[in-house]
Structure 1
Amino acid sequence: MRLILLISLLLLSAQSLATVYRWVDEKGKVHYSDEQKNNAEAVELNENTQNNMTINTPTKINITPTTEASINYSISITSPQEEATVRDNNGAFTVSVSITPQLPRGVLMTLLVDGVITAPAQVSNIFQLTGINRGEHSLVVNAVTQSGKVLASSSPRKIFLHQASVFGPAKKSK
């Protein structure tokens, strides 16, 4: 049974190698077919008829990308003023920042008080701080990418935070 199937498949494949005919109709249109028409001529097909394509190797173009690292950003703390005295018993105050040019999307700002990040990274240029202890503090704002690279920093700003003392004036003993 397998032998008969194999022989019939071989015979069918031999018949598929039919002759191709080419002819031109009365309108001048060229036709191809496996059936012979009047005025049709047989077309010889080479067995090595292949489409060959050549792909040009890409040339490297030197483009210097404009990244946020190549732009000089200017960050300055606008409030509180240099050596300002802030009076708040809760240690709360607001820090406002000015940035030029505008930071690209994905770049955040961090606020460092005495070299320690005290507020979460944010897009807003206004920081609300609470719980800062009294005394002299240095404020610095950094523009930071999501990978942690610092693009720009403000110059340090010195402020003084005053809080009312829990200790009253000393009482004289009698």
Structure 2
Amino acid sequence: MSGSSRAEIESTVEDLIEDVGSWPGVTTGEHRFGGTEWRVGPREIGHVHAWGMLDVAYLRALRDVLIEEDQTGVHHLLNDSGWTTLYIEEPGDYDHARWLVRLSYLYHVNILKKTPAGAEEFAAVDVESELEALNPTESVRAAFERRRPGKAGEPEK
């Protein structure tokens, strides 16, 4: 662990909770194993514990690419799932933690927008431009879009 104090980490976590909770369609609540979870509709996109453990939900293929690129780690318990774990160890980890949760948010919003209720609820969320702003690698983008890298517009098999 870095030289950051527990109070600094807790403050960073609180800032993240507040930020993510302000995104369109996100609800926050108590997570069943402690901490605070974020949901988009019925989907949990992630949760964070006060001591800095951040768990984020992805499609398995996207999770695998993020781990391969060392963006995050295998979930601390569910290592064969789409879940990942990142430890926020200092305030400087905030931006990357937010990036990971935002990627999950955009992925889940993109899926929900394919339903009539989701299309209406998330009409103001421009997934493509927001994904572009995250500046993902081609491999992350391909997994997000469910296609093979380098084959734009072709679904992943």
**TM-score normalised by length of structure 2:** 0.20
**TM-score normalised by length of structure 1:** 0.18
Greater strand proportion: 1
Task: Report which of the two structures shows the higher radius of gyration computed on alpha carbons.
Answer: 1
Greater helix proportion: 2
